[in-house]
Amino acid sequence: MTVTLSRTQRRFVLPESDLPTHYYNIAADLPVPLPPPLHPATREPIGPEALAPLFPMALIAQEVSTERAIEIPEEVREAYRIYRPSPLHRALGLEKLLDTPARIYFKNEGVSPAGSHKPNTAIAQAYYNREAGVTKLVTETGAGQWGSALSFACSLFGLEAKVFMVKVSFEQKPYRRSFIQSFGATVVPSPSDETNAGRAILAADPDSSGSLGIAISEAIEVAATREDTNYSLGSVLNHVLLHQTVIGEEAILQMEMAGDKPDVVIGCAGGGSNFAGIAFPFMRERLQGRADTRFVAVEPASCPSLTRGEYRYDFGDTAGTTPLLKMHTLGNDFRPAPIHAGGLRYHGMAPMVSHLYELGLLEAKAYEQNACFDAAIQFTRSEGLIPAPESSHAIRAAIDEALDAREAGEERVILFNLSGHGFFDMAAYDAYLAGGLTDVGYDSGQPPA
């Protein structure tokens, strides 16, 4: 490169007028259609009515749509404008640190009010529910990111929000709890005595510290039994991934501003929504024959659904109350080790991401957490941003691509999604800096009995 550091643009910001007007629905461009969800008893494809007790019809329609471009309602765009378009950064400091000929870019979703990409779908879900006359949304949260996003979105649209928070997180993460409460939401430690599911658990084990599976069961029970209340999910489903495509649509324009095209697009993958959000719009270019971009989904070694799971029909929740979804899964009763990247501790992968993996459109990698925190600290000290432990997986993969490019002497263009900041995860950094993290691996999880 002949340009000097100081003459190179560092952030690419779009005007509000470039906020996307449509979500991109990758279902329109699939060479093979996505296998449908099945009823657990009949194993027949389920119809929209099966989801109607939980979701408004507009979201159910998006879940099964094959329309390529789905218009974003004006009120949703208005709310997005609180933090979108989000910036795209050129990681000049990291490039210098790695002494690589690669050019590294990242999309910064940490600028949202909740500190991650989650509000992109929370806002849309709150809007469509309010339009359908729903007055209350109920959900579960583990690490707290999704509960934060939904409580923020509900406060904007005048909905009540109730969040079942896994009891151990409720007790260990009081700041995430008070963050959610600051937006006016009710937070209930799960298991609770507010539902049959919770009461049954408490009867058997009054000291239960809860699990995401139990919290989901409680939230679904409340939504299914109350007319004015719906359920809301933060990842996995098609409509959730759809809402996240605003990330990639903006990034395409910003990469054009930068005069570069990504050779590889990277995202961490738990349920799959932030990966889908950055990747799908770029994948459209590849599916339509205009680019040969590579895509890399990065997961924790301790919860490796894509790299070690089976591709088969499985339940979305632990209790087995959801329809069956065709996905890469470690088994719906797999209990991943308690790594710090709580948002990546999900037994399955989004059906759409799983399907594209089977079609050979993306690669998958798994890393241990110390390797990810090493990368996070390199990033922090060269770029000034403390990433969420989840996002550190994408950073690890991006750094490895950049080191590989140095080895090969290639000017590789790398784009990754910084899904969130780590300001609520300092306890994890504290443990890492004190040398206290262990690499737990897949086998440390508790596989299905």
Binding positions for a second copy, rule: CB under 8 A: 5-6, 9-11, 13, 15-16, 74-75, 77-78, 81-83, 89, 93, 111, 113, 115, 119, 152, 155-156, 174-179, 181-184, 377, 380-386, 423-424, 426-427, 429-430, 433
- Chain centre to alpha carbon of residue 352: 13
Name the burial class of residue 137, with classes exposed (0-12), middle (13-18) and buried (19+) by CB atoms within 10 angstroms of its CB: buried
Smallest distance, a second copy to C-beta of residue 420, A: 12
Amino acid at 4: T
Task: Closer to a second copy by CB, 203 or 257: give it.
Answer: 257
Least distance in Å: CB of 332 to a second copy? Answer: 33
Rounded to an integer, what distance in angstroms lies between the CA atom of residue 121 and that of residue 133?
18
Pairing of strands 22-24, 136-141: unpaired
Whose structure tokens read 């060479």?
31
| Closest CB to a second copy among residues 205, 423 | 423
Instruction: State both tokens at 85.
Output: 């378009």
Give min distance, CB of 382 to a second copy, in A.
Answer: 8
Per the listing, tokens 């594209």 go with 356
411 with 262: CB under 8 angstroms? no
Q: Supply the minimum distance, in Å, between the C-beta of residue 363 and a second copy.
A: 30
CB of 333 to a second copy, least distance (A): 34
Nearest CB to a second copy, comparing residues 200 and 433: 433
Around Cβ 358, how many Cβ atoms within 10 Å? Answer: 14
Q: State in angstroms the smallest separation of the CB of 92 from a second copy.
A: 8
Could you list the beta-strand ranges (E) of 15-147: 22-24, 69-71, 88-90, 103-108, 136-141
Q: Give 27 or 376: the residue with its C-beta nearer to a second copy.
A: 376
Nearer to a second copy, 198 or 389 (CB): 389
User: Measured on CA atoms in the order 221, 227, 228, 234, is the torsion positive or negative?
Assistant: positive
Minimum distance, C-beta of residue 429 to a second copy, in the bound complex (Å): 5
Q: Which is nearer to a second copy, 180 or 353 (CB)?
A: 180
> Which residue, 157 or 346, has its beta carbon nearer to a second copy?
157
Angle separating helix axes 273-287 and 351-358, nearest 10 degrees? 40
Separation between Cα atoms, residue 323 and residue 315, nearest integer Å: 6
Smallest distance, Å, CB 5 to a second copy? 6
Q: How far is the CB of 337 from a second copy (least distance, A)?
A: 22
Angstrom distances, CA of residue 303 to CA of 231, 268, 361, 365, 399: 26, 12, 21, 11, 21
Q: How far is the CB of 78 from a second copy (least distance, A)?
A: 5
State in angstroms the smallest separation of the CB of 181 from a second copy.
Answer: 5
Cβ distance to a second copy smaller for residue 156 or 219: 156
Residue 22 near residue 69 (C-beta atoms within 8 A):
yes
**Gap between the Cα atoms of 244 and 107, Å rounded:** 13
Q: What is the DSSP letter of 363?
A: E
Through-space distance between the first and last CA atoms of the chain, rounded to whole angstroms: 56
Please state the length of the chain: 449
Distance CA 258, CA 272 (A): 27
3-state class (DSSP) for residue 390? helix
**Which residue's CB is nearer to a second copy, number 47 or number 174?**
174
Distance CA 182, CA 197 (A): 28
Amino acid at 407: E
> Is the Cβ of residue 163 or residue 356 nearer to a second copy in the bound state?
163
Between 312 and 381, CB nearer to a second copy: 381
For 78, the 3-state DSSP assignment is helix
> In terms of CB distance, is 258 or 276 closer to a second copy?
258
Element (H, E) at 217: helix 212-225
Nearest approach, Cβ of residue 89 and a second copy (Å): 8
Q: Which residues have a Cβ under 8 Å from the Cβ of 101 and sit 6 or more positions away?
A: 1, 405, 406, 409, 410, 411, 412
Q: Determine the Cα–Cα distance for residues 412 and 399; give it in Å rounded to an integer.
A: 12
